[in-house]
Amino acid sequence: MTAPSDFNLTPELDATLVFRVAYDGSSYSGFAEQPGQATVAGELRRAIETLLRRPIDLTCAGRTDAGVHAVAQYISVPVTDAELALTRRRWLRAMDALLPKDIAINEVYRARKGFSARFDARSRTYTYRIADRDARPVLSRGAVWWHRYPLDVEAMSAACPALLGEQDFKSFCKVASAVGKPTHRCVMRAEFGHEVAFGEDILTFTIEGNAFLHSMVRTIVGTLVEIGMHRRKPEWMREVIDACDRTAAGPTAPACGLTFMGVDYDPAELVVLD
């Protein structure tokens, strides 16, 4: 007689489900799971495992720090053929019931076996929002940095070209995270703009890259704000990058203003679930 421990209880995982996730990161200690801490990944795992009634492997496109938000974070979960029978509508309704109200799954895709939300991403895009005025933002306050002082956007824009291309961004990485790890990244886009949210004018900085280091975007923003306050000239950005030293850059901007906006994948890889 075969002992129960001899049975292979691991299901055969034949495909991958990919979820587009939005969240308000204000109440969480970042995306990644941490013992004893409320995290976005922890809540997603709990909800998905409740529906599937089994443990899952969960991979995200990019980890976000405590307090950082997302409009379109992506996670991938290997599933069985039988689990693919769950419809898009069933997933959305179940996740609405099982997730906290500050986390939402907004779309569900089917992908090939072995697809990874992290390793199959071609680029990630973040937007940092700043209210650079003396009037306090009200309805948008949870997703912007209220800077209180007007910034010279022209000067900050003049510094952006130095960020483009593949180079060493060690100056913008949290020191402990850079030890013994590669710090080269490729930035394809870095630009300022404006948008109106709830009737409030907001300054935006959008950056797209193949990947980002720990606190990289927020430290870039803090460095740009030094330029926007005329404490430094636009040419300083090149000096900061070449230094490869965190102490050469500006301060790290607050987490509340940063939002993970999206991920670029090969469109042929993702098919919206029926």
User: Residue 156's closest CA among 204, 94, 115, 85?
Assistant: 204
Measured from the Cβ of residue 78, the count of other Cβ atoms closer than 10 Å reads 21
Among candidate residues 6, 57, 65, 245, the one labeled active-site is 65
pLDDT of residue 186: 98
Longest Cα separation, the chain:
79
> Strand, coil or helix: what is 213?
coil
DSSP character at residue 28: S
Is the distance from CB of 106 to CB of 21 less than 8 angstroms? yes
The model's confidence at residue 262, banded by pLDDT at 50, 70 and 90, is very high
Of 3-7, 57-61, 138-142, least confident by mean pLDDT is: 3-7
pLDDT > 70: percent of the chain: 96
Side chain identity, residue 70: A
Whether residue 128 is annotated as binding a ligand: the answer is no
Q: Does the pLDDT value for residue 1 go beyond 50?
A: no
What is the Cα–Cα distance from 167 to 177, expressed in whole angstroms? 17
- Mean local confidence (pLDDT), 113-117: 97
Amino acid making up residue 6:
D
Identify the band that residue 9 occupies on the pLDDT scale cut at 50, 70 and 90.
low
Please give the C-alpha separations between residue 99 and each of 30, 41, 44, in angstroms, as whole numbers.
Answer: 16, 11, 7
pLDDT band, very low/low/confident/very high, at 14 (cuts 50, 70, 90) = confident
Reading the block at residue 242, the tokens are 């070449």
Strands 15-23 and 69-79: antiparallel
**SS3 assignment, position 150:** coil
What mean pLDDT is predicted for residues 178-195?
94
Backbone angles phi, psi at 190, to 5 degrees: -155, 110
Side-chain-side CA neighbours of residue 100 (13 Å): 18
Q: Residue 163: is its pLDDT beyond 90?
A: yes
Question: Domains in the chain and their CATH numbers?
Answer: 15-119 (3.30.70.580), 123-261 (3.30.70.660)
Q: Render 107-124 in DSSP notation, one character per residue.
A: EEEEE-TT--TTTT--EE
Q: State the pLDDT confidence band at 12, using cuts at 50, 70 and 90.
A: confident
Catalytic: 6? no
Could you list the beta-strand ranges (E) of 112-209: 123-131, 145-146, 165-168, 184-197, 200-209
| pLDDT the model gives residue 178 | 78
- At 10 the pLDDT is 61
Tokens representing 99?
Answer: 């997730």
Structure tokens at 144: 């912007």
Q: What is the mean pLDDT of residues 170-184?
A: 89
Q: What is the dihedral of CA 177, 180, 184, 189, to 10 degrees?
A: -10
> H helices of 137-196, where?
153-159, 175-178
pLDDT tens digit sequence for 65-104: 999 999 999 999 999 989 999 999 999 999 999 999 999 9
Instruction: Specify the 3-state DSSP secondary structure of 254.
Output: coil
pLDDT score, position 7: 36
- State how far the Cα of 194 lies from the Cα of 202, in Å rounded to an integer: 6
What's the pLDDT tens digit per position in 187-238?
Answer: 999 999 999 988 899 999 999 999 999 999 999 999 999 999 999 999 999 9
